[in-house]
Amino acid sequence: MWQQRIPDETRLRYLADLLELLPKRPDVLELGVGAGVQSSRILAERGRLTGVDISRQQLRRARERLPNATLIHGDFTSVELPRATFDAVVSFYVLNNLPQEELAPLLRRVADWLRPGGWFLAASRARTIPVGVASGSEQRCTSPAASPRRTGV
Ligand SMILES: C[S@@+](CC[C@H](N)C(=O)[O-])C[C@H]1O[C@@H](n2cnc3c(N)ncnc32)[C@H](O)[C@@H]1O
């Protein structure tokens, strides 16, 4: 499995940091939830997890591993989700494959889905994700490249 090639302590460390910032039973949206690996299971056990993935095959696996999660088959660049619904949006090793021009619009969607004061955690192997483009609200962003911080907009 591809994930075994990536040291997972980093992901779990940042997930633990994020959980410290969230309410007791947070509503979390995961973009590209994949097959429902350990980090997704932690989120589904701790609160209410909604996962979106474009691959039916991955979602089939995720359904077995995340029986309590809401799993949506769709493209996160176009899927319709209610606004101001999530305490956090997370995405692990997904955004590095997104075309550059789709990144800013996606971050605006993320900002829209988050409740005021919500958090965005994105892990990406080979990409700097600019924080600050999700304008117009109090969203905060965090990534392995930086400590949690407010967007400057
Ligand atoms: C490298 S896997 C990572 C899966 C999971 N996040 C993990 O850490 O194990 C990337 C996942 O993102 C999904 N994906 C890629 N582009 C997507 C899109 N535009 N909308 C929804 N899912 C997408 C793929 O189907 C795949 O399950």
What CATH number should be reported for the domain holding residue 126?
A: 3.40.50.150
Q: Is the pLDDT of residue 72 over 90?
A: yes
Look at residue 128 in the predicted model and tell me its pLDDT: 57
Tell me which residue has tokens 């075994």.
Answer: 4
In a domain, 12, yes or no: yes
Q: pLDDT-derived band of residue 9, with 50, 70 and 90 as boundaries?
A: confident
Which tokens in the block code for residue 107? 């971050």
Q: Which residue has the higher pLDDT, 124 or 5?
A: 124
- Secondary structure letter of residue 34 according to DSSP: T
Count of domains for the chain: 1
In a domain, 30, yes or no: yes
Establish whether residue 4 lines the binding site of ligand 1, counting it when its CB lies within 6 angstroms of any ligand atom.
no
For the chain, the average pLDDT equals: 84
Kind and range of the H or E run holding 104: helix 100-113
Angle, helix 38-46 to helix 8-21, in steps of 10 degrees: 20
Establish whether residue 90 lines the binding site of ligand 1, counting it when its CB lies within 6 angstroms of any ligand atom.
no
The domain of 37 spans: 2-140
In a domain, 147, yes or no: no
CA distance 24 to 93: 26
In a domain, 152, yes or no: no
In a domain, 151, yes or no: no
5-9, 32-36, 143-147, range with greatest mean pLDDT: 32-36
In a domain, 103, yes or no: yes
Task: State the distance from the centre of ligand 1 to the C-alpha of 140, rounded, in angstroms.
Answer: 23
Task: State the distance from the centre of ligand 1 to the C-alpha of 32, rounded, in angstroms.
Answer: 3
In a domain, 145, yes or no: no
Task: Record the pTM.
Answer: 0.85
Task: State the distance from the centre of ligand 1 to the C-alpha of 111, rounded, in angstroms.
Answer: 19
